[in-house]
Amino acid sequence: MNPRILFVDDEANMRELLSLYLRDKSMEVTAVPTSQEAMELFGQTPFELTVLDLDLAGADGLDVLDFIRRQDARHPVIIYTGLNEGELFLKKFLLGRANAVVLKLSSLASLLAVIRQNLPASSASGATCAAPVPRS
């Protein structure tokens, strides 16, 4: 069974690009632009992992992260953000709440490696996992 990924980003081009890329890697992707849609879907559909942008139109991705943590504290959440290197303090803060933080400037292959690393074992069967990503 292909892992089900919830991808939340208000940039249509980013949703389309990442959805196509992950589907090509045998993942089922549901991509939504708003925090409201993400929270509604999370409560209705079982996902193995969430990829979440922080800067969403009309809302904060941290609200979605907090909602997910209240629903399922063990659900893997990867923050996928355009923050710059000068904002690494935020990255360190988020690592206490999210499973990983990937900068949008990183390659899609890097994001894929982090996704595979954080998928529950039952969902990642057959997938090649990357070496652990440092969390500092």
CATH number at residue 14: 3.40.50.2300
In this structure, is residue 135 part of a structural domain? no
Overall pTM surpassing 0.75 (yes/no): yes
Residue 97 tokens, joined: 């709440």
pLDDT at residue 26, as a whole number: 96
The count of structural domains within the chain is 1
In this structure, is residue 61 part of a structural domain? yes
In this structure, is residue 15 part of a structural domain? yes
In this structure, is residue 102 part of a structural domain? yes
Spell 37-68 as b/e; 16+ CB within 10 A means b.
Answer: ebbeebeeeebbbbbbbbebeebebbebbeeb
In this structure, is residue 127 part of a structural domain? no
Residue-number span of the structural domain to which 94 is assigned: 4-118
In this structure, is residue 134 part of a structural domain? no
In this structure, is residue 132 part of a structural domain? no
Distance CA 42, CA 38 (A): 6
In this structure, is residue 110 part of a structural domain? yes
Distance CA 131, CA 135 (A): 12
Distance CA 76, CA 87 (A): 22
pLDDT tens for residues 4-51?
999 999 999 999 999 999 999 999 999 999 999 999 999 899 999 999
